[in-house]
């Protein structure tokens, strides 16, 4: 890593004039005059506050290119912050594309977290940490808090760890350290919040660990308490660029302000209508107050949208108009008219997934008069990650390639977490949480008692659990089989640790010649080989090989996948850092795939074809968000709807289901209120399968239960009826006026064999046998199934 002095010696400005004249700037020709102004104004603060798809990110990227091309800055003098790792990668690719060559360096282009982790490793000692600190994920954080809560004698049922973690995260987002908790917050967590925050930070320090919030907060603390360090970085980062500025929280805001104070060359871009992280402490006020913070800021407004068709744009604009707290911006486009926004209702969530799967397949060949689309062009954006499962299941069944971005992730699986705990304890022996996780996995005869002994000794001596374990054996506090196994583990961890420090880089085939081959007698291994060695020698691989459960083969596959993933990293620590930060499972085999992700993860992205499923009240807008934050919560949900629709370039399909299984229970759903806010002129209502004579290969009209139930359930909602009226395509048999959306599933009488019954999902059937509360039913349409009596009603009680 270069020293500061090297940067000081670099006189960028003297180069600029010469470089400007010498280098072509074709990227400027791709911009409109407003964008161009924002790019060329390199000195002083610049704010681009503009709606979705107006080319903010494009202009920001062009600005980086301009800085480099004109010689105003070298790659490592530019600090550019994006919101996700995916966005950072994309920006690097775009910069390279515009420059016409690979970007060398750009070490400071990344997310707040990834940049702060690099900085904090250099200065860890200033906040009492060592530079090899571990980054805890949510799971570890909760486990740690739980221990502290138990030790403090707090009733964790009434005051759950999740509540405390929420409070602490909130403080950290607001840049409040444990010693500065405002008196107004003293009552938090039953008045124990501030004290628990302190204990938590102390424990993290002992563990040589940080959580996500600490990455930012520690850096802010360092900058505040060590002006010399701050000044170095102020000089170093001569140009600062921030995308999605509307979603910065207070800690991030302070971090940026501190860094930008000297040169004031800060360019922020964002859109108040796309602020969707209020629940995580984002302050939309940060962007609105930019002009006050940076006096004399050039403010650039962009209004032409280059992404979406007029119908899509009109739909999005109409929805967001429902929000009261916004600046209000009008967007226009020159794009061709194209498809209207499509709206479709389904019987249930699985039907919705089935339909979308079929639609995606037919869109590849071109359907309904549209051009053909590749799978890479298509994305499904969900409100809640649990919605993904239905799509994953369906797509696996029909063999439709897909990738999940964000959401329930590979690295959260049990076997992966175990394996990573092994890697963690090897790279940082103070990592007690990792030690706890693996000490008796696989079983080493070390039960609760032995583990408590280790804890006690470690506490008493003020050492890590690993050292505590060594002492426990030495002092004879743990005996017998357990002691032998534990002794072996302690020795192994130390040995693997030495091997880690001696690993050699992975050699690619073309450099693997005689010279790079390991010398005989010098057992050099790569970190990839070492990872395999750790998993094998620890007995972890064997544990799953001996496991007879159906999941075991899959887990072994995942472990293989994990070891494979290590190949693209320099060492184990780099990999662990990546996992802690990235967590988006978008490994690629290069083939085209449909993307599935949450609306939150889709921010800043664009796709020709977008599906927006699950537009049902309670799911979207989310009930929780409305319950917790009232009208503000609803407005944030509406911004999320705006983000969703504006991701689409050409085709946007919104759907909802009349029934959905939520936590194992079937629930009747109402279409989202946002559907009512879609402008009718720009929406086309599609015919769901099964209605009006079959549509997409569904059953004949009105002859199936599904059709009638769909009419009674889905199409009886006020929102839906209004839409049908507008379109003049009301279902043939008119729904009842009274809302019979719910079948009372609790009104169950005793059944006898031969009864005709109805199940909300499987339809009509006949009871074949009864076993306690489980019935075996032969369904007319779905074959024989075992179901719980609670989910059945007598056929006579069905209200249609
Ligand atoms: P969001 O608010 O969703 O983050 P954005 O304002 O960052 O959107 P970009 O992603 O930069 O918008 O641009 C949207 C699309 O418009 C991209 O495909 C981009 O290449 C294109 N685009 C931007 N500016 C222009 C331009 N001047 N001429 C042609 N296309 C443009
Ligand atoms: Mg953008």
Closest Cα to residue 285, out of 233, 328, 326? Answer: 326
Active site residue 647: yes
Q: Is the CB of 613 under 6 A from ligand 1?
A: no
- Structural domains in the chain, CATH included, are 3-121+217-304 (3.40.50.300), 134-207 (1.10.10.160), 313-408+592-716 (3.40.50.300), 414-573 (1.10.486.10), 729-797 (2.30.30.140)
596 near 382, Cβ under 8 Å? yes
b (16+ CB within 10 A) / e for 431-468: bbbbbbbbbbbbebebeeebbebbbebbeeeebbbbbb
Between 600 and 709, the more confident residue is 600
Query: What is the pLDDT at residue 350?
Result: 85
Q: How confident is the model at residue 124 (pLDDT cuts 50, 70, 90)?
A: very high
Tell the burial category of 303 from Cβ atoms under 10 Å away from its Cβ (0-12, 13-18, 19+).
middle
pLDDT: is 224 or 778 the higher one?
Answer: 224
Peptide bond into 350 cis (omega under 30): no
φ, ψ at 775 (rounded to 5°): -115, 140
Query: Closest-lying ligand to the alpha carbon of 35?
Result: 1
How many C-beta atoms surround the C-beta of residue 707 within 10 A?
Answer: 24
d(CA 768, CA 745): 20
659 touches 666 (CB < 8 A) = yes
Range list of β-strands (E), 569-701: 594-598, 607-612, 648-662, 665-668, 683-685
Ligand at shortest distance from the CA of 306: 1
Q: Is 35 in the pocket of ligand 1 (CB under 6 A)?
A: yes
Q: What are phi and psi of 443, to 5 degrees?
A: -55, 130
Please give the pLDDT value at position 87.
85
Name the closest-CA residue to atom 29, ligand 1: 306
Least confident of 202-216, 226-240, 733-747: 733-747
Residue 588 tokens read as 């690629």
Is 53 touching ligand 1 by the criterion CB < 6 Å? yes
Residue with tokens 């080989």: 529
The helix/strand/coil state of 671 is: strand
pLDDT value, residue 706: 36
244 catalytically annotated: yes
Q: Is residue 638 within 6 Å of ligand 1 at its C-beta?
A: no
CA of 307 to the centre of ligand 1 (A): 6
Q: Which of 315-324, 350-359, 679-688, 764-773 has the lowest mean pLDDT?
A: 764-773
**pLDDT of residue 721 exceeding 70:** no
- pLDDT tens string 88-117: 888 888 888 888 766 667 889 999 999 999
Predicted pLDDT at 798 = 62
For residue 701, name the pLDDT band (cuts at 50, 70, 90).
very low
- Distance CA(151)–CA(144), nearest Å, equals 11
Site to probe by mutation for ligand 1, drawn from 53, 275, 303 as the one with most ligand atoms within 8 Å of Cβ, is 53
- Mutation pick for ligand 1 pocket among 33, 48, 51, 55 (CB with most ligand atoms within 8 Å): 55
Cβ neighbours for 427, distance < 8 A, ≥ 6 positions apart:
132, 497, 500, 572, 573, 576
Does 199 sit in the ligand 1 pocket, CB within 6 Å?
A: no
Task: Supply the pLDDT for residue 390.
Answer: 80
pLDDT at residue 790, as a whole number: 62
Per residue in 635-652, pLDDT tens?
Answer: 999 999 999 999 999 999
Is 154 within 8 Å of 195 (Cβ atoms)? no
Look at residue 586 and tell me whether its pLDDT is greater than 80. no
What atom in ligand 1 is closest to the CA of residue 32?
27
Task: Compute the C-alpha angle 792/352/642, nearest 5°.
Answer: 125
pLDDT, position 765:
86
Least-confidence region, from 269-283, 392-406, 492-506, 698-712 = 698-712
Confidence of residue 459 (pLDDT cuts 50, 70, 90): very high
Active site residue 561: no
What percent of the chain shows pLDDT beyond 70?
81
Mean pLDDT over 738-748 rounds to: 28
Dihedral, 484, 489, 492, 498 alpha carbons, nearest 10 = -130
How confident is the model at residue 279, as a pLDDT? 83
Please check the confidence at residue 583 and state whether its pLDDT lies above 90.
no
Question: pLDDT value at position 689?
Answer: 62
Q: Identify the residue whose C-alpha is closest to ligand 1 atom 23.
A: 55
- Give the mean pLDDT of 131-142: 85
Q: Which segments of 431-512 does DSSP mark as H helices, in order?
A: 432-438, 448-461, 465-474, 480-501
Q: Tell me the DSSP string of 699-723.
A: PPTTTSHHHHHHHHHGGGSHHHHHH
Q: How do residues 23-46 score in pLDDT, each as one tens digit?
A: 678 889 999 999 999 999 999 999
Residue 510: exposed, middle, or buried by beta-carbon count in 10 A (0-12, 13-18, 19+)?
A: exposed
Q: Which ligand 1 atom minimizes the distance to the CA of 31?
A: 27
User: Of 108-122, 244-258, 263-277, 506-520, which gets the smallest average pLDDT?
Assistant: 506-520
Catalytic residue among 34, 35, 54, 56: 56
Q: What pairing do the DSSP bridges indicate for beta strands 594-598 and 402-405?
A: parallel
Task: Return d(Cα 349, Cα 344) in angstroms, integer.
Answer: 12
**Average of per-residue pLDDT values in the chain:** 82
Strands laid side by side in the 774-779 sheet: 783-788, 774-779, 763-771, 756-759, 792-794
What are the C-alpha distances in Å from 398 to residues 205, 373, 392, 772? 50, 18, 10, 36
- The percent of residues in the chain predicted with pLDDT above 90, rounded, is 55
Instruction: Count the neighbouring beta carbons within 10 Å of the beta carbon of residue 739.
Output: 14
- Higher confidence at residue 70 or residue 734? 70
Residue 475 confidence (pLDDT) = 92
Lowest-pLDDT choice from 154-163, 287-296, 535-544, 723-732: 723-732
Select which of 77, 244, 359, 706 is catalytic: 244
Cα 589 to Cα 71: distance, rounded to the nearest angstrom: 38
List the single range of 230-239, 415-424, 721-730, 784-793 with lowest mean pLDDT: 721-730
CA 4 to chain centre: 35
Tell me, yes or no, if 274 is annotated catalytic.
yes
pLDDT score for 57: 95
Residue 735 has pLDDT above 80, yes or no: no
Predicted local distance difference test score (pLDDT) of residue 454: 95
Catalytic site residue from 57, 451, 453, 500: 57
The whole-number average pLDDT for the span 528-543 is 94
- What is the pLDDT averaged over residues 660-684? 84
pLDDT attached to residue 560? 82
Query: Which residue in the list 137, 211, 214, 243 is annotated as catalytic?
Result: 243
Q: Choose which residue among 62, 307, 332, 610 to substitute to test ligand 1 binding: the one with the highest number of ligand atoms within 8 A of its C-beta.
A: 307
Position in ligand 1 atom list of the atom nearest CA 60: 11
Which tokens belong to 621? 């807008």
Q: Above 80 in pLDDT, residue 661?
A: no
For 40-89, the pLDDT digits (tens) are: 999 999 999 999 999 999 999 999 999 999 999 999 999 999 988 888 88
Task: List, in sequence order, every beta strand (DSSP E) within 12-68.
Answer: 46-49
The mean per-residue pLDDT over the stretch 690-705 comes to 34
């Amino acid at each position: 890593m270069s020293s500061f002095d090297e940067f000081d010696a670099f006189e960028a400005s003297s180069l600029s004039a010469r470089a400007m004249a010498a280098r072509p700037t074709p990227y400027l020709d791709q911009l409109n005059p407003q964008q161009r102004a924002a790019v060329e104004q390199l000195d002083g603060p610049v704010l681009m506050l503009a709606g979705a798809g107006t080319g903010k990110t494009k202009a920001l990227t062009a600005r980086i290119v301009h800085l480099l091309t004109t010689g105003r800055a070298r790659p490592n003098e530019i600090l550019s912050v994006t919101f996700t790792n995916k966005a950072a990668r994309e920006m690097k690719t775009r910069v390279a594309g515009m420059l016409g060559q690979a970007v060398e360096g750009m070490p400071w282009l990344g997310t707040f977290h990834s940049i702060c982790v690099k900085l904090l490793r250099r200065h860890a000692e200033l906040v009492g940490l060592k530079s090899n600190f571990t980054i805890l994920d949510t799971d570890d954080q909760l486990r740690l808090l739980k221990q502290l809560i138990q030790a403090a004698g707090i009733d964790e049922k009434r005051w759950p760890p999740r509540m405390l973690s929420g409070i602490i995260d909130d403080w950290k987002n607001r840049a409040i350290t444990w010693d500065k908790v405002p008196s107004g917050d003293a009552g938090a967590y039953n008045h124990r919040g501030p004290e628990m925050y302190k204990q938590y930070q102390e424990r993290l320090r002992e563990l040589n660990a940080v959580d996500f919030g600490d990455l930012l907060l520690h850096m802010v603390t360092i900058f505040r308490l060590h002006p010399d360090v701050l000044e170095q970085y102020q000089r170093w980062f001569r140009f600062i660029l921030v995308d999605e500025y509307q979603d910065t929280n207070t800690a991030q805001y302070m971090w940026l302000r501190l860094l930008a104070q000297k040169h004031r060359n800060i360019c922020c871009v964002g859109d108040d209508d796309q602020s969707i992280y209020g629940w995580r402490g984002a302050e939309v006020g940060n962007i609105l107050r930019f002009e006050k913070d940076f006096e004399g800021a050039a403010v650039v407004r962009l209004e032409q949208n280059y992404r979406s068709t007029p119908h899509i744009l009109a739909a999005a604009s109409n929805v967001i108009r429902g929000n009261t707290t916004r600046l209000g911006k009008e967007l226009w486009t020159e794009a061709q008219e194209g498809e209207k926004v499509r709206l479709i209702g389904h019987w249930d969530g699985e039907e919705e997934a089935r339909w979308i799967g079929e639609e995606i397949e037919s869109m590849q060949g071109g359907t309904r008069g549209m051009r053909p689309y590749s799978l890479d062009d298509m994305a499904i954006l969900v409100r809640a990650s649990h919605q993904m499962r239905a799509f994953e299941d369906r797509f696996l069944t029909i063999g439709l390639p897909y990738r999940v971005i964000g959401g329930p992730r590979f690295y959260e699986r049990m076997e992966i977490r175990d394996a990573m705990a092994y890697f963690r304890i090897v790279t940082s022996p103070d990592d007690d949480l990792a030690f706890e996780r693996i000490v008796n996995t696989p079983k080493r005869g070390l039960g609760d008692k032995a583990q408590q002994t280790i804890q006690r000794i470690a506490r008493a001596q003020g050492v890590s659990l690993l050292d505590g374990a060594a002492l426990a054996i030495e002092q004879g506090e743990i005996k017998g089989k357990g002691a032998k196994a534990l002794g072996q583990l302690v020795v192994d961890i130390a040995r693997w640790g030495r091997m880690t420090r001696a690993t050699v880089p992975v050699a690619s085939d073309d450099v693997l010649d005689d010279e790079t081959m390991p010398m005989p007698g010098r057992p050099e291994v790569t970190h990839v080989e070492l990872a395999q060695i750790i998993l094998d020698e620890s007995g972890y691989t064997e544990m799953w090989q001996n496991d007879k459960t159906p999941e075991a083969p899959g887990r072994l596959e995942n472990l293989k996948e994990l070891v494979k993933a290590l190949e693209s990293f320099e060492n184990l620590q780099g990999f662990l850092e990546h996992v802690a930060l990235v967590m988006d499972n978008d490994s690629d085999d290069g083939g085209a795939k449909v993307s599935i992700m949450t609306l939150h993860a889709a921010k800043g992205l664009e796709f020709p074809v977008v599906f927006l499923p699950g537009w049902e009240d309670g799911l979207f807008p989310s009930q929780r968000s409305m319950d917790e934050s009232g009208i503000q919560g609803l407005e944030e949900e509406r911004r999320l709807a705006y983000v969703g629709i504006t991701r689409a370039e050409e085709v946007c399909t919104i759907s909802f289901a009349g029934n959905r299984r939520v936590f194992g229970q079937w629930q009747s759903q109402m279409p989202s209120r946002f559907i009512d806010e879609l402008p009718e002129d720009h929406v086309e209502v599609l015919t769901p399968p099964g209605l009006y004579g079959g549509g997409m290969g569904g059953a004949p009209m009105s002859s199936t239960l599904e059709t009638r139930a769909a009419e009674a359930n889905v199409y009886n909602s006020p929102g839906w009826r209004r839409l049908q009226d507008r379109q003049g395509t009301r279902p043939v048999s008119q729904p009842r006026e009274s809302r019979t959306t719910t079948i009372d599933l609790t009104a169950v009488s005793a059944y006898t064999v031969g009864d005709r019954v109805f199940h909300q999902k499987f339809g009509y059937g006949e009871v074949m046998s009864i076993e306690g509360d489980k019935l075996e039913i032969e369904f007319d349409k779905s074959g024989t199934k075992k179901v719980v009596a609670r989910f059945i009603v007598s056929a006579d009680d069905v209200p249609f």
